[in-house]
Structure 1
Amino acid sequence: MNCNFDKLHDRRRTGSLKWDFNQKIFGREDILPLWVADMDFQAPQAVVEALVKRAQHGIYGYTDGMDQYYESVIAWMEERHGWQIQRDWIVYSPGIVPALNELVRAFAKPGDKILLQSPVYHPFFQAIKNHGCEVVNNQLGLRDGRYTINFDDLEKKFADGVKFMIFCSPHNPVGRVWEREELELLGKLCLTYDVLLISDEIHGDLIYDGYRHLPFGSLSLELAQHSIVCTAPSKTFNLAGLQTSNIIIPNEKYREIYKSSVNLTGIHLPNVFGATAMEAAYREGRAWLDQLMVYLQGNLDYLLLRVSQELPQIKVIKPEGTYLVWLDFRALGLDPKALQEFLVHKAGVGLNAGYGFGPGGEGFERINIGCPRSLLEEGLGRIIRAVKDL
């Protein structure tokens, strides 16, 4: 079955954070939103059909992780990523951001040092600060259009008492898909300095040709016991609103600590529709995902070509994974907040301001290319016209 990703779907008046809150978020109703990380594509037909069938049952009582639920996660991780996980390792969460907050609460105490790597997904900072912990930043370096880890700086900060690390893999917003050698060196340092690694791998299925996502826990049995991997179908199949994630914790001690902390919140059971959608997506969504990645590659190629031809002063950090693209606007000479104001009020587009991703994000913007190409064409056209009028 061929998927029509070019089809436009009107998402207004559906409670869409992306489309219905422009005035509240950007101060203008008439902007084109290309920001928050959900796509403007319908989920796989198998997911829609599974949800309709479940809805028609008419009874929506409490549910629990059914055998099929766990089996679908286990099969997906093995078939897509070559990682054999066990049912007992999987702990349900309504989202990875809630899980990160819970993990900080479970494994740290106020004042503990927790490391991240900016520019990075902004809820990482908040999860650390929410619980009175200290943010330690191992800022990524940009060289020849590609971000890398400063391992010398990382080791110094590990040696200075970092409790654990929140890792983004693939990295949001810079689009890196970390290579085995990088992951193994990171793992070696975690073991040497007894740093627990929490890996947010929500974008791990969205990988372009020529790259491969390696779940951190798949590198070795030793590293699996020293890490926690956070996964979800939400970015892959556009299911974010169904709030279903899986936290994979091979270490039994860590798992019990986390589950005990979760029990304090009263979150025990998954959403019946989230569980239904996830199972259908993982079992029957492979062909849809393969077609999606072809379409996203086309969108990326279009963006790269058009920016290089019509907006050469803007540099594109070419992503290796995710449908998010990191754009370098520093050559325009605008301060970070003025840049955001310019894009909203002169170009009429809503992107994610780079400074929101922490140090190293100033002067950058994040654009979401998970949309029909006509929307991307319109958004880029608005930016190009506004820059030319500067």
Structure 2
Amino acid sequence: MESKFDQHILRENTRSVKWDLVKTLYGADDILPMWVADMDFLVPEEVKKALIKRAAHGVFGYTFTDPALNKLVTSWLDERFQWKVSPASILYSPGVIPTLNMAIQAFTNIGDKILIQTPVYPPFHDSIRNNGREVVENPLILNGSKYEIDFDDMEAKIKEGVKAFVLCNPHNPVGRVWTKEELTKMAELCDQYDVFIISDEIHADIVYSGHHHIPIASLNTKLKNRTITCLSPTKTFNLAGLQVSYAVVEDEGIRKQLEKTFHKNGMHMINTMGITALEAAYQHGHAWLDDLVTYLETNVELVEYSFQNTEIRVIKPEGTYLVWLDFRSLGFTHDELKDWLVKSAKVALNDGITYGKEGEGFMRLNVAAPSSLVTQAVHRIKKALKKLAS
């Protein structure tokens, strides 16, 4: 039976970064875009109706958030992750990366060391450097087809004076959903050495069977005093262009300090339509999300199966709709790999080297698209592989 996610939505000529910048960025308009982390799916019908109703009102002045919205958000966290937080702990922002930047400014000083686990989402690097802080890398270890944390290296780096740790869970791009044991070890190190935690959990809702997302701040009460958790409905419900997110900050003093930094930077208001979409999604989106995760998991399995017995290794994600692909056995330099994918395979993927030096020889594939498009992308790559072998 055909799924609602099988529908092809034409996104060209909508100023879509993913689709309308292909020629500008990749030099040709016959490239299949499987890169930017948004989805090629319609939002839930209730979200669409709520936005249309709000647009019909015709006045779009300043909008505020209220306790009812906070309660809806905390109910979502309780139902999805069994995480009970006070509605007062919710602080809204235009996005997770703005929150990351504000947290770095609020809780570290220029020159401070901030730890990240590479390869990781490029704005982590940028947010640290652009604010005059020092990037400290705790490289993840690829053990077979699964990434693991090097805890000895993590502790050694922290002991050198790290002031904050930016966690990515579920991890982008390697797809790990960190276990309770792994999160507990990270939390204990941060507690032992007085390290502040900024946790990007924007992909928390997209986790596959056999895995469960655990917010690091939910592990124990001590973490409330040193953790900011960044979340959003944007990845979950394909709302990225509406620029709405929130942070869970359970410690009142930390929350007030972060809020003050947002005001200082003139970033204390969010998009009117983003608020509308968040409300509708969290009220009505549960069943849609469950169907989405099932569909995405099928797409992941499609990619894994398709690249069996080829030179390309699939790092199967436990969460996110992003698949990390290992092309190193092809023997290309990284620039040659990029050139080959665009010119021979005619597929646009995210460049692995932008996630850190550990990403050399890797690329990130976005499977949040109709299965027919994912199949087309995989077939293009396999066809290019056959040409190499001939």
Using the size of structure 1 for normalisation, the TM-score is 0.97
The residue aligned with 1:386 is 384
Structure 1 segments (4+ residues) deviating >6 Å: none
Q: Deviations over 1:76-106 (max 9, x none)?
A: 0000000111122111110111111111111
Structure 2 counterpart SS, 1:308:
coil
Per-residue displacement from partner, 1:19-50 (whole Å, max 9, x unpaired)?
00012222222200000100000000010011
Aligned residue type for 2:325? L
SS at match of 1:5: helix
**Letter of the 1:255 counterpart:** R
Relative to structure 1, the CA distance from residue 194 to residue 265 in structure 2 (aligned partners, 3 Å threshold; closer, same or farther) is same
What residue number does 1:347 align with?
Answer: 345
State the 1:130 CA deviation. 0.2
CA contact (8 A) 1:139 1:359 kept: no
Counterpart for residue 28 of structure 1: 28
Deviations 1:222-246 (A, max 9, x none): 1122211000000001000000000
For residues 11 and 200 of structure 1, the distance between their equivalents in structure 2, rounded to whole angstroms, comes to: 28
Q: CA deviation at 1:320?
A: 0.3
1:345-381 alpha-carbon deviations (Å, 9 max, x no partner): 1111100011110021100000000000111111111
Equivalent residues in 2 for 1:247-326 (5 A)? 247-309=247-309, 312-326=310-324
Equivalenced residues, count:
387
2:99 aligns with 99
Correspondence 1:217 to 2:183: no
Deviation at 1:131, TM superposition (A): 1.0
Residue-by-residue CA offset, 1:103-154 (whole Å, 9 max, x unaligned)? 1111222211000000000000000000111100000000021001000010
What is the match of residue 242 of structure 2?
242
Residues 1-390 of structure 1: pairs in structure 2 closer than 5 A? 4-309=4-309, 312-390=310-388
Structure 2 CA distance for aligned equivalents of residues 243 and 319 of structure 1: 26
Q: Specify the code of the residue in structure 1 equivalent to 2:177.
A: V
TM-score normalized by the length of structure 2: 0.97
Structure 2: distance between partners of 1:16 and 1:158: 40
Larger mean Cα displacement after TM superposition, 42-51 or 103-112: 103-112
RMSD across aligned C-alpha pairs, in angstroms? Answer: 1.1
The residue type equivalent to 1:364 in the other structure is F
Q: CA deviation at 1:3?
A: 5.3
> 2:357 is paired with a residue of what secondary structure?
coil
| Percent identical residues | 48
Supply the distance in 1 between the matched residues of 2:250 and 2:243 (Cα, whole angstroms). Answer: 23
Shift in Å, 1:302: 1.1
- Structure 2, unpaired ranges of 5+: none
Q: Distance in 1 between matches of 2:64 and 2:230?
A: 19
Distance 1:302 1:131 in 2: 41
**Counterparts of 2:210 and 2:224 in 1: how far apart (Å)?**
25
Partner AA of 1:361 in structure 2: G
CA distance in structure 2 between the aligned counterparts of 1:231 and 1:341, rounded to whole angstroms: 35
Cα deviation 1:166-189 (Å, max 9, x = unaligned): 010000000000000000111110
